Amino acid sequence: MTTSEIIKFIAINILIPVVVSIVVFHLKEKSTDRKRRLTNCRIGVLIFESFREEVETGIGIMERAFEYALDENCPQPYLMSLPRKSWTGIDSIPVESLLIIRENESFVSSGDLHPRDCRNHIKNYFVNICANTDQALHDSYLHHGKGEDWRTRIVSFIKQPDDNNHLECAKKVRLMIDDCIKILKVDAKWR
């Protein structure tokens, strides 16, 4: 066997199969990563849609409570708790979905809240805004039972003129959730 035949033998029987197996391995890994990312996007969209539904319902409750307080014909306050079953803590939003959202730093948000901070803003909505609003609605009901003015309490609580305006904050959170859903849907289609 000559040197050229040995090199040809090594190339055909050893190098080509090794190179082909490496290429196939990397293509399979890329396909698996793409499927995993697509699944994470879909799961993220479902979770954020659940959050959006509860925030939307909460906004409706706050608006109805405000309308009841302004309507002199309503004999008693609107008493209903804001929904928050989809929030089970900070881990309600999967890390993989957060990473996909955070990768989109150039995304121009629709409102004041940027999607990269979604975990914090959604937590603040479910932990603070929901609890404070529920407490205000409950307190107004108690004041109504004692014959005290409940209308001014609700109006001033829900439509506070400063940064504590719970209704406006909830609307900003809803816009931010919509942005998160857009990012995840675009990423799922792009990949």
Long-range CB contacts for residues 49-55, cutoff 8 Å, separation at least 24: 49/181, 50/86, 51/86, 51/87, 51/92, 51/122, 51/177, 52/174, 52/177, 52/178, 52/181, 53/86, 54/82, 54/83, 54/84, 54/85, 54/86, 54/87, 54/126, 55/125, 55/170, 55/173, 55/174, 55/177
* C-alpha to C-alpha distance for 164 and 188, rounded to whole angstroms: 36
Distance (Å, whole) CA 31 – CA 159? 51
Closest CA to 85 of 122, 42, 51: 51
Asked whether the whole model's pTM tops 0.75, one would answer yes
Contact between 154 and 132 under an 8 Å Cβ cutoff? The reply is no
Each residue's pLDDT tens digit, 130-189: 998 888 888 888 877 787 778 887 887 777 766 668 888 999 999 999 999 999 998 887
Averaged over 117-134, what is the pLDDT? 92
**What is the token pair recorded at 150?**
């409940």
Q: If residue 67 lies in a helix (H) or strand (E), which one and from where to where?
A: helix 16-70
Length of the chain: 191
| Residue 138 near residue 148, CB atoms below 8 Å | no
| pLDDT, tens digit, 9 for 90 and up, residues 39-98 | 888 999 999 999 999 999 999 999 998 888 888 888 888 888 889 888 888 788 888 999
Q: Torsion angle, CA of 13/14/16/19, rounded to 10 degrees?
A: 160
| Beta carbons within 8 Å of 151's beta carbon, 6+ residues apart | 69, 70, 77, 140
Residue 121 has pLDDT above 80, yes or no: yes
Phi, psi of 6 (to 5 degrees): -65, -45
